């Protein structure tokens, strides 16, 4: 039986397709059922969509959660979805703002903040997605959640159109649509997200991305784009390379001793485990002086 692929594909998603639809196209191209994406993109949003194939789907929880975006905010407008896809709720006159005044308005959104998700979002409310309840006509009171905006830069300001371009890096769970809404509220004129492109996610960037056209051109029956080594997005984690003597025990699920070099790691820290040749052998957690196996590739038996 042919060895199953194990790795990552990074799509440069265009506007239009859903993340779920992109996963379906990857399944067809590679002839695999075991495919999953890391971090949903709304259909109108473009950019980095990491997709795991084969056993790499089990690595998704170990990847870094920070994401980076470039987006355009339209001031003077509020909508039901906090972007231009939703129903228009109100228009207000555009304020006269200098770049320095915009910088001052952006300052409170940098760092650790509390953010209320958009009404039309995938947040769970009593076991159901918020967007499903909103589509039935409900008006939800969503609780604020802690998020972190590590970087927020003003790239361009067009006073005539009321549009400003931003670049940001943020923690998982941050809604750029909510940022557009809250910035508009702080300026007293309303705001909605006009355009958004994700430039980084889960340790991957646009420089590693391929287009849907390139994906479709390669399969089925052809040669789809080569997958990225699963070690690429795990480079932020500690590593342990098994000795030949340790390898067989690892394949049987036995925990190797925690090496001295990793002795300062906190309990339950994730560790990438490599085989003697330097290939990914699995994932472990530090526990009581050993590396407790959590994912064993090429397990024996």
Active site residues: 42
Give the three-state DSSP class for 97: coil
Whole-angstrom Cα distance, residue 199 to residue 135? 30
Other beta carbons less than 10 A from residue 131's beta carbon:
16
φ/ψ of residue 35, rounded to 5: -140, 135
Give the three-state DSSP class for 246: helix
φ/ψ of residue 246, rounded to 5: -80, -25
Q: How far is CA 220 from CA 26, 158, 217, in A?
A: 10, 46, 8
Q: To which residue do tokens 């925690």 refer?
A: 258
Element (H, E) at 9: strand 7-13
Taking the chain, what is the end-to-end CA distance rounded to the nearest angstrom? 16
Tokens (6 digits) for 214: 């390139």
φ/ψ of residue 277, rounded to 5: -90, 0
3-state SS of 171-227?
CCCCCHHHHHHHHHHHHCCCEEEEEEEEEEECCEEHHHCECHHHHHHHCCCCCCCCC
């Amino acid at each position: 039986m042919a060895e199953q692929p194990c790795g990552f594909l990074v799509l440069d998603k265009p506007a239009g397709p859903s993340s779920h639809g992109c996963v379906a196209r990857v399944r067809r191209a590679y002839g695999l059922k075991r495919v999953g994406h890391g971090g949903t993109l709304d259909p109108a949003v473009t950019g980095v969509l990491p997709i795991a194939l084969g056993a790499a789907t089990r690595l998704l929880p170990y990847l870094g959660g920070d994401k980076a975006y470039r987006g355009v905010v339209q001031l003077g407008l509020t909508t039901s979805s906090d972007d231009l896809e939703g129903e228009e709720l109100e228009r207000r006159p555009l304020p006269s703002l200098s770049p320095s005044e915009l910088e001052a308005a952006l300052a409170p959104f940098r760092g650790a903040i509390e953010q209320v998700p958009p009404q039309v979002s995938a947040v769970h409310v009593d076991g159901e997605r918020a967007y499903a309840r909103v589509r039935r006509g409900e008006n939800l009171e969503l609780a604020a959640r802690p998020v972190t905006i590590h970087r927020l830069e003003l790239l361009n300001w067009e006073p005539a159109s009321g549009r400003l371009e931003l670049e940001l890096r943020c923690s998982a769970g941050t809604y750029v649509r909510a940022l557009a809404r809250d910035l508009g509220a702080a300026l007293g004129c309303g705001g909605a997200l006009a355009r958004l492109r994700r430039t980084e996610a889960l340790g991957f960037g646009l420089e590693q991305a391929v287009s849907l056209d390139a994906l479709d051109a390669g399969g089925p029956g052809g040669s789809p784009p080569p997958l990225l080594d699963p070690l690429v997005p795990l480079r932020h984690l500690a590593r342990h390379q098994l000795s030949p003597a340790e390898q067989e025990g690892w394949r049987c699920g036995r925990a190797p001793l925690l090496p001295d070099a990793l002795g300062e790691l906190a309990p339950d820290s994730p560790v990438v485990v490599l085989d003697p040749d330097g290939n990914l052998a699995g994932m472990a957690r530090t526990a009581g002086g050993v590396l407790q196996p959590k994912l064993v590739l090429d397990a024996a038996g």
